Amino acid sequence: MRWTERQAAMLAEMGIRVVASPDEEALEPVAVMAPEAVLHGSTPVTARSASPDPHPANVQPVAAAAPLVLRDRAPGIETMDWPALRDTVAGCTACKLCEGRTQTVFGIGHPRAHWMVVGEAPGEQEDRLGEPFVGKSGQLLDNMLRAIGLSRDESGAEGEAARQVYIANTVKCRPPFNRNPEPAELAQCEPFLVRQIQLVQPRIILAMGRFAVQSLLRSTEPIGRLRGRVHRYEGVPLVVTYHPAYLLRNPEDKARAWDDLCLAREAMAAEPG
Ligand code: SF4
């Protein structure tokens, strides 16, 4: 497959430079050059085995399992429709993250998108605007999605679902000073994400960052050991990749993130129906 000019431009926006390959048929290893990642050749390179994470400090194991004390949740989350779920999240005070938020950050995108992106927790700009993945990391995510022909359009046109994403975070309120969400906060907020996934019924899930991975896969493994293969969440193929905010700090891993996108695209294409 050759890169189109548009794809090459998108990859360039993502910080990945496509260079000519001496052999168009050959799959070449991804070469990484700081500060830009470089893809050799015109064929996407897909990772089939997990590679060690070069930044183990970025992915910490889940905290030792102390008993979680959870507050009462809103009843009936598991049967709510979109409006009820959105209203319930907006009024939720089930964990202490409600105390510092400007507003909840529910999610955005096509309500029946074939692709679902699950991130971590809202940051300062998300908290202010009420939308996940805004600012520089949002721009990078949008560029990554556009590179494979996807967008986050909320119009909901039925025929567009295959090219749309729904984006949600693991917790819906910003942790103060952008600290990591605590295990009790993740657990308290989890039913909202579970219901969002049930309503979207995605055909592929991209789990971005360790908190998304911890929630969806119940795994303490570093991202570097989980990416590069297809997992399952309630039967839905799930691919693990780096969070865009991490990629902004570590641009040498953008080529790995591109591998993950290609793997997700292949996994979805392999699904029946
Ligand atoms: S983070 Fe989730 S559980 Fe906690 S207050 Fe916000 S919406 Fe409710």
Per-residue pLDDT of the chain (273 residues; tens, 9 = 90+): 455 665 565 567 666 665 554 444 333 334 333 333 444 333 333 333 333 333 333 434 444 556 666 777 778 999 999 999 999 999 999 999 999 999 999 999 999 999 999 999 999 999 999 999 999 999 999 999 999 889 887 665 666 888 899 999 999 999 999 899 999 999 999 999 999 999 999 999 999 999 999 999 998 899 999 999 999 999 999 999 999 999 999 999 999 999 999 999 999 989 886
Point out the ligand 1 atom lying closest to the alpha carbon of residue 89. 7
Q: What is the pLDDT of residue 161?
A: 87
Residue 247 beta carbon below 6 angstroms from any ligand 1 atom:
no
Q: Give residue for tokens 């000073």.
A: 177
d(CA 2, CA 147): 13
Point out the ligand 1 atom lying closest to the alpha carbon of residue 171. 1
Q: What is the pLDDT of residue 123?
A: 93
d(CA 163, CA 109): 11
Distance 104 CA to ligand 1 centre (A): 8
Q: What is the pLDDT of residue 66?
A: 60
Both tokens of 257, joined, read 């993130």
Instruction: Please give the full DSSP string across 104-154, using - where no structure is assigned.
Output: ----EE-TT-SEEEE-----HHHHHHT-SS-HHHHHHHHHHHHHTT-B---
Q: What is the pLDDT of residue 61?
A: 43
Terminal-to-terminal C-alpha distance of the chain: 24
Instruction: Please give the full DSSP string across 217-234, using - where no structure is assigned.
Output: H---S-HHHHTTSEEEET
Distance 88 CA to ligand 1 centre (A): 10
Tell me how crowded residue 175 is: count the other CB atoms within 10 A of its CB. 20
Which of 188, 195, 211 to mutate to test ligand 1, by most ligand atoms within 8 A of the CB atom?
Answer: 188
pTM of the shown model: 0.80
Q: What is the pLDDT of residue 153?
A: 73
Residue 208 beta carbon below 6 angstroms from any ligand 1 atom:
no
Burial of residue 63 (CB within 10 Å: 0-12, 13-18, 19+) is: exposed
d(CA 228, CA 205): 14
